[in-house]
Amino acid sequence: MDELNKLLQSGQLIDGRETAVLYARVSTKKQADAGNLEWQMERLRQYAKENGFIVRAEFADVASGLNQKRYGLTNVLKLAEQGEYRRLIIEYPDRLARFGCGYIERHLKYCGVEIIAIAEKEPEDAQSELVKDLLAIVTSFSARLYGARGGKK
């Protein structure tokens, strides 16, 4: 099947089981160094195994949910556009993006991909992560505002 899929440049031929991609994200290198990223990925692997999914690929990012230059997420989207998998398994919806998650979900749905979030409730430290993201938004807008005014007298 893999050889035929390579020849056809798509992942549309499968052996009857559902194909999936795993995606994990943490906001900081400190979280990754503490093992949070690997634990998250391990939970995703376990879920895929228990539900009989064929894991096509695993992607991870160490970046804010506001960061638009996440290579793992870019690869998730590329594979979806190529029809390489049918399920995206994540831990929480905010692992995809803090804001604009609906756009990503809509795009993936258009590509024929269903998003499966395996956890119901975010951990307590997710609130502090959200506060950091909100501060980053305020900082970004402040810099643009003051930068736009800097050239005017």
Alpha carbon distances (Å) from 108 to 7, 29, 137: 24, 28, 25
Structure tokens given for 147: 């930068």
With beta carbons less than 8 A apart as the criterion, state whether 27 and 129 touch.
Answer: yes
**Choice among 10, 27, 128, 142 that is catalytic:** 27
User: What are residue 19's DSSP bridge partners?
Assistant: 54
Active-site annotation holds for 142: no
Pairwise CA distance, residues 91 & 96, whole Å? 10
Structure tokens given for 72: 């793992």
The SS3 of residue 150 is helix
Q: Computed from CA positions of residues 118, 98, 36, 69, in that sequence, does the dihedral angle turn out positive or negative?
A: positive
Catalytic residue numbers read 27
